[in-house]
Amino acid sequence: MGLFSFIKKSTPDAAVPPSYPGDSSRKDRPTPSRKEAEAARMARLHPELDPKRAKAMNREAEARQRAQQLSAVESLPERALMRDIVDSRFNVGEVALPVMLLILIVVMIPQLSGFADVSMYLMWGVVVLIAADLVLMWTKYKRLAKERLSDRKVKGMLFYGWNRQMSFRRWRQPAPRVKRGETI
C-alpha cells in the first residue's frame, strides 16, 4: 500500500490486446521521421498552388467573408423592418428610371423637338413623385420603428430605404420576404 492508496483510479487497468501478425490494426508502414512528419504537416497547412488556383481560392474566401459580413448587417432588425416596408408597397422609384430613360430617348428624336420643353417638366415631375414617395415611406418607417424598435437607432435607414425602393423588386438583395400589399 502506498501513501495515496485511498485514492481510487478513475479507469480500471484494462489489458491491451497484443498486436500480432494477423491483427488488422497493425500499421503497414514505418513511422515517419520527425523531419518528414513536420514537412507533411506544413504541406497540409500551406499547400503549394499554382497562381491560378491560389487566386481562385482567395476569391472564394473573400466571397465567403463578404457574404458573412453582409448577412450580419442585413440581419439587424431595423434593416429587416425597412426592407419589409419597402417591399410591401408600390414604389415610384421602381418605374422612375425606365420612365426617365424613355423620356431621354424621345427627346433625342429630331422630329419631336417640341417635346424637349415638356420632357424637362416630366423629369422634374418624376423627381417630385420620388421625393413624395420617400417621405411617405420614411414616416411609416419611423412610426413602426418607434413602436417595435424603440431601443434601436434609425441612423442611415432613410438612404437604405431610398436605395432599396429605387431598385427593381426582382433584383433586390436580400430578396423580398413580403408580398406587395401585405400588411407588416
Average pLDDT over the chain, rounded to whole?
Answer: 86
The Cα 44–Cα 62 span in angstroms is: 21
pLDDT by residue (tens digit) across 62-84?
Answer: 999 999 999 999 899 999 999 99
147, part of any domain: yes
| Enclosing domain of residue 90 | 75-171
pLDDT by residue (tens digit) across 88-143?
Answer: 999 999 999 999 999 888 888 888 777 888 888 999 999 999 999 999 999 999 99
Helical axes 77-87 vs 51-74, angle rounded to 10°: 80
Q: Name every residue whose Cβ is closer than 8 Å to that of residue 153 and which is 6 or more positions away in sequence.
A: 78
Helical axes 77-87 vs 115-148, angle rounded to 10°: 140
Reduced to 3 states (helix: H, G, I; strand: E, B; else coil), residue 184 is: coil
- The candidate with the shortest Cα–Cα distance to 173, out of 88, 90, 67, 95, is 67
29, part of any domain: no
pLDDT at 14: 52
Tell me how many domains the chain contains: 1
